[in-house]
Amino acid sequence: MSMDTTQTDQDVLYEVQDRIATITLNRPERLNAWTRPMGEAMRDAVRRAALDDQVRVILLTGAGRGFCAGADMELLQAVGSVSQQDRAREAGVGGQVEPMPNPSGIDIAALYNQRFGYLIACPKPVIAAINGACAGLGLVIALYCDLRFASAQAKFTTAFSQRGLIAEHGMSWLLPRLIGNANALDLMFSARKFDGEEAQRLGLVNRAFAPEALMPETLAYARALADTVSPRSMAVMKAQVYGAALQDFDSALAIADDQMVQCFPSEDFREGVAHFLEKRPPRFTGR
């Protein structure tokens, strides 16, 4: 069991253990309210994990009682007096991001190349462990993750309509795809608060746990991915799913046919067959 713990920035912590990179938003005294330096540090941490062969799964969570309570209110108070370009930059670290290598060869980075699209373009699974307040921009970030596990007592809100804002940073595209138009509009129009149990019923989170069980259960799931499935398969499947959202059926089917052929000569395919026949734990390499 190896551990690599570093602090990428005072507002973001980075730790690797058991092939899981845990990225922790670390402003607990402000419920991890979002700032531009935090955004830059988180993006750098995700890229670092994506490029590290020792990392197979990325876990994103918050320190203390909150996941992320949205943009820092001091930041919001200031943006009304700055230019539109500066406002966008302060709101979430915008602009194009450097592509990350993907064994699939499917160019997801070209499709999701703005704002928090790097979480989608990342070839490794990104799991949000939502431990507390998840509001506004914090909810947007959670939506960009591949899977969401939450404390049953976590509090969610879109928040935007109560701030005189709109569905920012791709929420209008992401949220309806998870929970449908009517449910998404309910949450966006009303900005009402709801807990982790309702979030699970809506389909916004995959699972809701008792608060004390959230991290153990999430880590157990992440370890199962890291230890028992092919990293190459996960990377290709992730690219397929997000690519298919912007493709017609025939295009998605053609990509699947091509990718299946590319699986056969891979090390992970040979290992997948061998460990099954030999009735032993797998030793996937991701190649």
> Considering the domain boundaries, does residue 287 fall inside one?
no
Q: Residues 204, 179: contact at Cβ < 8 Å?
A: yes
Query: In terms of domains, do 91 and 122 share one?
Result: yes
Query: In terms of domains, do 217 and 119 share one?
Result: yes
- pLDDT at position 95 is 47
* 106: containing domain: 3-227
Q: Give residues with Cβ within 8 angstroms of 50, minimum separation 6.
A: 58, 100, 122, 123, 124
> Considering the domain boundaries, does residue 250 fall inside one?
yes
Number of domains composing the chain: 2
- pLDDT at position 109 is 83
How far is it, in rounded angstroms, from Cα 145 to Cα 125? 8
- pLDDT at position 73 is 75
Query: In terms of domains, do 171 and 256 share one?
Result: no
How far is it, in rounded angstroms, from Cα 154 to Cα 209? 10
Closest CA to 240 of 220, 215, 257: 257
- Spell 227-253 as b/e; 16+ CB within 10 A means b: eebbbbbbbbbbbbebbbeeeeeeebe
Q: Residues 31, 133: contact at Cβ < 8 Å?
A: yes
The neighbouring-strand residues paired with 59 are 22, 127
How far is it, in rounded angstroms, from Cα 135 to Cα 29? 16
Query: In terms of domains, do 38 and 134 share one?
Result: yes
Q: Which amino acid, one-letter code, is at 111?
A: L
Query: In terms of domains, do 189 and 245 share one?
Result: no
Query: In terms of domains, do 271 and 219 share one?
Result: no
- pLDDT at position 283 is 96
- pLDDT at position 113 is 84
Q: What is the pLDDT along the chain (287 residues), one digit of tens a residue?
A: 445 655 555 899 999 999 999 999 999 999 999 999 999 999 999 999 999 999 999 999 999 999 999 998 766 555 555 545 554 555 555 545 566 667 667 778 888 888 899 999 999 999 999 999 999 999 999 999 999 999 999 999 999 999 999 999 999 999 999 999 999 999 999 999 999 999 999 999 999 999 999 999 999 999 999 999 999 999 999 999 999 999 999 999 999 999 999 999 999 999 999 999 999 999 999 99
